[in-house]
Structure 1
């Protein structure tokens, strides 16, 4: 057997597996081509042998590894750590099983699991290693755990949320959103999201935002919508949208989370922009004269709008109008001066 023969790593296999000329044979070819990464280093950290799988971890070839020092291949912090592991193996004289992290050729962290063990290489005692790259397996496990956490949050967290497919259908939903919409969860899955929205100006704005999300022009958005439940009741809500990208150029879905839910009410005609501004000014304590001056309306027109708003919202007085505007979600409870929940800009009243 040659001194550099990699069959040294696999002495448990019978000698006849080698070729009779003393060169690397079946076992050598096996060690060279196995998907497990294998290497031999001397006590100083110089590579005496490595197979193709080991070189692939670093994005190079085995010929570029053999004969080089650890410091030529790994980062300084990793070099000190790996040399310490080598010395531990040589000192104890037995194999050590462990996992380790290393730096890939693209700079990303990699993870490997396997064994280091002492070997005789010629006249010297060296360290051999046999490892399997488990980076992708770890990522799959982390993804599985993240998906489990997300499902738990979706189903039991009490937060109304649903995942929509790029064509606008409900792909996943939590029990909280099914209860909110007064429908069975099995009926909600697969239904078009548009069927959950009242035909209001907010719906048209939501369509424009949706086109930007699935088109990849934006990754998240917050807007307002009026939801329609299974009993034809309505309530206003803030909708937080976040796109899910399978690749940088492909959106695989959009998560929608509903917050700041308004009071459920019977269907009613949508308010005009002028009526919403009147409600905002009314909530700020402005008089009819002030409202008319700000909106360039006559006193009679302001009185008409207020009368119309009292009928639409079922409120007999000015304070009751303001209260109803807040509980129905027309005005934002988080803004001052008062403004519409659907306002695009924080300083915009509508």
Structure 2
């Protein structure tokens, strides 16, 4: 903390600090013990007059001084003289009426719940935030005992904690559960510590109500458990991928689809599971749109490569998971449809895919030639080449292979390419 921050802190405490010249004139002062520099000067004059031992132009270290009926611990000088100046500080031992009023007003309206109880569990003081925990006012709490405010089980716990603090004589930090008058429960975290009130040692506490925070954490935990259950038992291949493209989570179905162990899948770069395909460029553009929050979700297709080098075409549903308005932190990837695994074959041309779709629709070679404005011989050549590429001996087998390999979309009629962006597109 720098000097300005320290001065700001001392402004709220029953403390006086000053800087004086060689003639003991106050040049600068502050703290919460006095309201103005004139009072600080009177205090310094009194300190100089009542110095223990021979009078000097500087103090003698540490001693107590009385001023206007108040008692202070005085430290002067605080450091070695600087440019004929000295610094001193005085801490009020028993705060005077003004400091007490200032502290009480500050503590009474502080957002943290605070209280003071005696050894028997009777409330000597409580602020508004503490009373609010129980849905009441400080006047309804002060003077009552713990068992008048808390439920019997809670009161026994509270009293035991008080006795432990008094026995140890040291502060204790903990989180506790309390019950309101309407029967609902809440959670609070803070410190409980011993304080002196007159001639007796009491227990004071300062707590922050963390009920909303605890409830939010519980809801998040339940949501994560539900999501994990859905991920693990739905049977759907899915994975959570970081913005950098690394797999953070994956379902057992995803590992099975890719022919690998789940432990080997998590941590792997997702792009190593993709084979070169015409739609890969569009997938990468869509990914950048998801991470940049220009899109919330996209649907696309891709060719996946399993651990044995076999390929299968899959339908991907990608949804961004955002933690900020500017950038997504991760993306959920879900596979809804996929073809059978197969050895890689050369990519088909747009004309070949269009011929397959027309063949699946029941068109003859002549009709296919007329539709595509090709010669009959060209169509015969393409069909012969397709049977060779897809290892299909007949026209029927060729159509079946086109569907199981994911070349044609199984959910559409008339037949069309599985990679087409529009129902009337060729590819």
Normalising TM by the smaller chain, what interval? Answer: 0.5 to 0.7
Deviation, structure 1 residue 210: 1.4
Aligned to 1:153: 230
- List alignment gaps of at least 5 residues for structure 1: 1-16, 39-49, 56-81, 101-110, 115-129
Is residue 301 of structure 2 the alignment partner of residue 245 of structure 1?
no
Q: How far apart, CA to CA, are the structure 1 residues paired with 2:213 and 2:370?
A: 66
Pair 1:278–1:29, CA change in 2 (3 A): same
Aligned to 2:348: 271
Deviation, structure 1 residue 223: 0.8
Is residue 413 of structure 2 the alignment partner of residue 336 of structure 1?
yes
- List alignment gaps of at least 5 residues for structure 2: 1-93, 116-126, 141-147, 151-179, 189-206
Aligned to 2:369: 292
Pair 1:54–1:293, CA change in 2 (3 A): farther
Tell me which of the two structures has the higher relative contact order, counting C-alpha pairs closer than 8 angstroms and 6 or more residues apart.
1
Residue 238 of structure 1: SS of its match in structure 2?
strand
Aligned residues of 2:113 and 2:129 also touching (Cα < 8 A): no
| Matched residues, number | 266
Is residue 240 of structure 2 the alignment partner of residue 163 of structure 1?
yes
Q: How far apart, CA to CA, are the structure 1 residues paired with 2:306 and 2:255?
A: 9
Aligned residues of 1:166 and 1:251 also touching (Cα < 8 A): yes
TM normalised by structure 1 equals: 0.66
Aligned to 1:97: 181
Is residue 294 of structure 2 the alignment partner of residue 217 of structure 1?
yes
Aligned residues of 1:99 and 1:113 also touching (Cα < 8 A): no
TM normalised by structure 2 equals: 0.55
Aligned residues of 1:18 and 1:26 also touching (Cα < 8 A): no
Q: How far apart, CA to CA, are the structure 1 residues paired with 2:384 and 2:274?
A: 27
Q: How far apart, CA to CA, are the structure 1 residues paired with 2:291 and 2:114?
A: 42
Aligned residues of 1:18 and 1:24 also touching (Cα < 8 A): no
Deviation, structure 1 residue 235: 1.0
Q: State the structure with more CA Rg.
A: 2
Q: How far apart, CA to CA, are the structure 1 residues paired with 2:364 and 2:382?
A: 14
Pair 1:142–1:331, CA change in 2 (3 A): same
Residue 338 of structure 2: SS of its match in structure 1?
coil
Aligned to 1:256: 333
Q: Kindly provide the CA deviation profile for residues 32-76 of structure 1, in whole angstroms up to 9, marking residues without a partner as x.
A: 2142499xxxxxxxxxxx958999xxxxxxxxxxxxxxxxxxxxx
Q: Which runs of 4+ in 1 moved over 6 A?
A: 17-21, 52-55, 111-114
Q: Kindly provide the CA deviation profile for residues 240-270 of structure 1, in whole angstroms up to 9, marking residues without a partner as x.
A: 1111111111210111111211111111111
